[in-house]
Amino acid sequence: MAADMPNLRVENLSKSYQEVVALEDVSFEVEQNSILGLVGDNGAGKSTLLKILNGYVQRDSGTLYLGGDNYSPDSPQDARNSGVAMTYEEFALVDGAAVWENFFMGREKTKEYGIIKTVDRNDMESNVQELLTEYGFDFDPNKKALELSGGQRRILVVSRAVESEPDLLLLDEPFRGLSERAINQLWKVLHEYSKTGSIIITSQWYSTIEGEVDDIMILRRGNMVGKFDNESIGRKKCDRLMMEGSV
């Protein structure tokens, strides 16, 4: 991929559910190694947009390009195979499994004894402990997911997605329910990741991403109001555009 080529290009994307228009003729680009903040009120189309990019929802029309190539995922697995990972607002965890099991689910580490291959629990457990410590989070990797707080569950799904090293990371309301300290720690993780990949983060509130993203894109009732660099839009202007579609 050429250095000046956007990581993701979306052209004329539309999606309707019977009479309800979720997205209408949305076009935008996400640059390499950048963070795009996607803001809008409830029903603006933010989650639908990310789910289309992740292959969870199929678009009605429009064209997607990833790394310059035509991109048309028909499932989340297809998206993962193309280098796209997503965390949903609803937690995608197996409650009865431990933190380390959830972290490596679907990509388990193994070790071999001759012709016998077994799951390497110790390696995965220690890896998760090291990563959580490195990220500044402190909870037991042997805890069951159901024993975690809402904030810890969200931290787990986001860090799991980051460690899968996708080219494009899609985060749906990743900071909801987190303390200010956890939010700051998670931003450090995301800024480090953005050195090698691109991120789209949805948020109902501009304040949660203010000063942390490279660009802000505003959706209103399925329509794209505009895309702005971080320095050219403030909270008042953003809120007005979200609510009224114009300044």
Query: For every one of its 247 residues, what pLDDT tens digit does the chain have, with 9 covering 90 and above?
Result: 555 667 999 999 999 998 899 999 999 999 999 999 999 888 889 999 999 999 999 999 999 999 999 999 999 999 999 999 998 766 678 889 999 888 888 778 888 776 778 878 888 888 888 888 888 787 888 999 889 887 788 888 888 888 888 999 999 988 887 888 888 888 988 998 999 999 999 988 888 888 899 999 999 999 999 899 877 788 888 888 887 766 5
Sign of CA pseudo-dihedral 212, 93, 123, 138: positive
pLDDT recorded at residue 21: 92
d(CA 184, CA 174): 12
The values of phi and psi at residue 47, to 5°, are -65, -40
Query: What is the residue-wise DSSP string for 16-81?
Result: EETTEEEEEEEEEEE-TT-EEEEE--TTSSHHHHHHHHTTSS--SEEEEEETTEE---SSHHHHHH
Model's pTM, two decimal places?
0.87
pLDDT recorded at residue 167: 94
**Fold of the CATH domain 8-244:** Rossmann fold (3.40.50)
With a CB cutoff of 8 Å and minimum separation 6, the contacts of 2 are: 68
pLDDT recorded at residue 245: 67
The values of phi and psi at residue 68, to 5°, are 90, -10
Whether the CB-CB separation of 157 and 105 falls below 8 Å is answered with no
